[in-house]
Structure 1
Amino acid sequence: MTSILQILLLVLGVARWIVLVHVIMSWLINFQVLNLRQPLVAQIWYGLNRTLEPVYGRVRRLIPIGGGIDFAPLIVLLAIYALEIVVRNNLYSFH
Structure 2
Amino acid sequence: MLSLLQALDLVLSVVWFFMIAHLIMSWLITFQVLNLAQPLVAQIWYGLNRLLEPVYGPIRRILPNMGGLDLAPLVALIVIIILRNTIQNNMYAFA
Q: Structure 1 length normalisation: TM-score? A: 0.94
Question: How far has the Cα of 1:11 moved from its partner?
Answer: 0.9
Counterpart for residue 27 of structure 2: 27
Counterpart for residue 76 of structure 2: 76
The ranges of structure 1 where at least 4 consecutive aligned residues each deviate by more than 3 angstroms after the TM superposition are none
Counterpart for residue 86 of structure 1: 86
Counterpart for residue 53 of structure 2: 53
Question: How far has the Cα of 1:85 moved from its partner?
Answer: 1.4
For residues 14 and 54 of structure 2, the distance between their equivalents in structure 1, rounded to whole angstroms, comes to 17
Counterpart for residue 11 of structure 2: 11
For residues 54 and 92 of structure 2, the distance between their equivalents in structure 1, rounded to whole angstroms, comes to 32
Runs of at least 5 residues in structure 2 that lack an aligned partner in the other structure: none
Runs of at least 5 residues in structure 1 that lack an aligned partner in the other structure: none
Give the AA of the match of 2:29: I
Question: How far has the Cα of 1:88 moved from its partner?
Answer: 1.1
Question: How far has the Cα of 1:10 moved from its partner?
Answer: 1.0
Q: Structure 2 length normalisation: TM-score? A: 0.94
Q: Deviations over 1:22-47 (max 9, x none)?
A: 01101100110000111110000000
For residues 36 and 7 of structure 2, the distance between their equivalents in structure 1, rounded to whole angstroms, comes to 34
Q: Report the number of matched residues.
A: 95
For residues 64 and 87 of structure 1, the distance between their equivalents in structure 2, rounded to whole angstroms, comes to 30
